[in-house]
């Protein structure tokens, strides 16, 4: 067993970390391990250590380096790190799922809506906080999609930018 953290070189509070899904063990310190296991605790300064360890001869170390760089979106270093194809597959297999699934926005008829579309309001809608009603039949041009919420789009009505429920709209 190595006497120091294979990622940052620290020799304090050493522990093993199992690199799934191949289950190879590497030696890591508690600081690295905590941040590997809980990405909300990532301290990017700490991971400057990858400048050295990304060149490790141990594949499992490079795999962890690649994953941490991916999570931190450090493209400069990702461009430098070199992994054989099968090692790269291993590294990618352990990356957290992207939580940005692709949302489809649909109008009241189930027609897909896209950024820049024009829609027509199909019923009178009181606009909270704006003090007016968006009237049935009003065309809303150049809509934008509300991020992470496919039940709403955004557009201008009476010159005011408001959010509208897609179920009260019809693409024109």
Assign 3-class secondary structure to 31-82: HHHHHHHCHHHCCCCHHHHHHHHCCCCCHHHHHHHHHHHHHCCCHHHHHHCC
Q: Is the peptide bond before 110 cis (omega within 30 degrees of 0)?
A: no
Nearer to Zn ion, 7 or 140 (CB): 7
Nearest to 65 by CA among 79, 82, 53, 80: 53
Interface region with Zn ion, contact rule CB under 5 A, candidates 6-14, 83-91, 105-113, 131-139: 6-14
**Sign of the CA dihedral 78, 74, 10, 91?**
negative
Shortest CB 109 distance to Zn ion, Å: 56
Of the pair 5, 50, the CB lying nearest Zn ion is at: 5
Q: Is 8 in the site for Zn ion (CB under 5 A)?
A: yes
Six token digits for residue 114: 């896209």
Per-residue x/- marks for Zn ion, 25-54, CB under 5 A? ----x--x----------------------
Stretch that binds Zn ion, among 22-30, 73-81, 85-93, 98-106 (CB under 5 A): 22-30
Among 24-32, 35-43, 60-68, 155-163, which window interacts with Zn ion (CB under 5 A)? 24-32
CB of 55 to Zn ion, least distance (A): 16
Closest by CA position to 132, among listed 141, 143, 121: 121
Please say which residue, 48 or 92, places its beta carbon nearer to Zn ion: 48
**Shortest Å, Cβ 149 to Zn ion:** 40
Q: Is 138 in the site for Zn ion (CB under 5 A)?
A: no
The residue from 10, 56, 133, 163 that contacts Zn ion (CB under 5 A) is 10
Q: Which residues bind Zn ion (CB under 5 A)?
A: 5, 7-8, 10, 29, 32
């Amino acid at each position: 067993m190595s006497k120091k953290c294979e990622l940052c070189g620290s020799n304090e509070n050493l522990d093993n970390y199992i690199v799934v899904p191949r289950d190879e063990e590497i030696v890591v310190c508690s600081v690295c391990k905590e941040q590997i296991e809980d990405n909300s605790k990532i301290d990017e300064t700490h991971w400057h250590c990858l400048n050295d360890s990304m060149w490790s001869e141990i594949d499992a170390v490079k795999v962890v380096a690649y994953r941490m760089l991916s999570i931190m979106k450090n493209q400069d270093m990702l461009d430098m790190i070199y992994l054989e194809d099968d090692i790269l597959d291993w590294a990618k297999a352990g990356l957290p799922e992207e939580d940005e699934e692709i949302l489809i926005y649909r109008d009241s008829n189930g027609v897909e809506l896209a950024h820049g579309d024009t829609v027509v309001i199909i019923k009178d809608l009181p606009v909270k906080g704006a003090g007016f009603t968006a009237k049935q039949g009003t065309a809303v041009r150049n809509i934008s999609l509300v991020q992470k919420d496919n039940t709403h789009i955004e557009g201008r009505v009476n010159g005011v930018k408001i959010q509208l429920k897609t179920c009260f709209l019809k693409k024109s």
